[in-house]
Amino acid sequence: MPIDYEKVMSLKSEGIEASYSDRESILYALGVGFGRDPLDAKELSYTYEKDMKTVPTLPAVVGTAGLGIMIETGINFMLMVHGEQRLTIHKHMPAAANLKLNSRIAGAYDKGADKGALLVIESEGEDADSGDKYFTQAMTLFCRGDGGFGGPSDGAPEPHQIPDRDPDNSFEVETLKDQALLYRLSGDRNPLHCDPDFASAAGFPAPILHGLCTYGSVCRGILVNEFDYDNTKMKSFDARFSSPVFPGETIIIETWRDGNVLSFRARLKDRDAMVLNNGRCEFAD
């Protein structure tokens, strides 16, 4: 069935309760690559519950309970891919918290019957006890089989433009061959990331790394190399997914600083593939 625009734009979920502990915070940090040197105090600050910091992109796994509204959109999930992930940080998340989550369809854009559709799902997370807002995040879904439903064609979020000059900085982030096996324990058990037969049937020579694991791994690289592990520096973290990573590959991150905005993109060291593009990270002075 085609997307029912009026129905889709009315979809929302409010006050969904979710909780996480330091176990989930530690597991996520390990899954995106923290703790490779367990004797490094700065690495340990993300992987040990004593005076623990949390990775800024933690909402990508602990803030998803309200996203069940996707099922009601009627899109063809077999032809859907994750296009973009955007995150605004209002208050940095503690190691453990009880959350209330509100989600809604923020936009549905018709690119044409032969070009597909874009669906933007926005969610907010707040502390269930204090009411303090922690984050607003949005995911853009590229629905290749759902164009031609008659919705607006314009108005979708525009990708951030990378500066037209040489990068100001570049550095490498290594992924491990078993990284997808660890990251999937944060919630995404899709067999595409662990089952060689399933990956082969999907057209891949081997299981691929979760897109949000790549997103978190690039966040880690920037946090370490641009902000010296200070998670309070990050105010937002947006990126567009371009190509999958195979566990064990090395990612090269390039960055540009302009005022309080860090532009970034990430490509593979040994393959000609851009994995994240149009990256934008707003940071504090």
Give the Å distances, CA to CA, from 58 to 25, 62, 113, 167, 229: 7, 6, 36, 27, 15
Bridge partners (DSSP) of residue 87 are 137
Cα distance between residue 230 and residue 227, in whole Å? 6
pLDDT at res. 230: 98
Q: Are 138 and 66 in contact (CB under 8 A)?
A: no
Q: Are 15 and 108 in contact (CB under 8 A)?
A: no
pLDDT at res. 67: 84
- The residue extents of the domains of the chain are 6-143, 169-282
R_g over Cα of the chain: 19
Domain 6-143 and domain 169-282 have a common topology: yes
Given the residues 110, 146, 160, 193, the one annotated as active site? 193
**Average pLDDT in the chain:** 96
Three-state DSSP at 126 gives strand
Token pair for 219: 């966040």
**What does the buried/exposed string (b/e) look like for 241-264 if buried means 16 or more CB atoms within 10 Å of the residue's CB?**
bbbbbbbebebbbbbbbeeeebbb
| N-to-C CA span, the chain | 49
Three-state DSSP at 4 gives coil
Nearest Cα to Cα of residue 79 among 116, 54, 53? 116
Cα distance between residue 84 and residue 40, in whole Å? 33
pLDDT at res. 1: 60
Token pair for 146: 């759902």
Q: What is the pTM of this model?
A: 0.96
**92 flagged as catalytic:** no
pLDDT at res. 277: 98
Ranges of the chain with pLDDT below 70: 1
Give the Å distances, CA to CA, from 280 to 158, 160, 261: 12, 7, 7
**210 flagged as catalytic:** no
CATH of domain 169-282: 3.10.129.10
User: 183 exposed, middle or buried (CB, 10 Å; 0-12, 13-18, 19+)?
Assistant: buried
Q: What one-character-per-residue DSSP string does 241-281 give?
A: E-S---TT-EEEEEEEEETTEEEEEEEESSSS-EEEEEEEE
Nearest Cα to Cα of residue 33 among 171, 170, 174? 174
Given the residues 127, 168, 188, 230, the one annotated as active site? 188
pLDDT at res. 273: 97
Domain 6-143: top CATH class: alpha beta
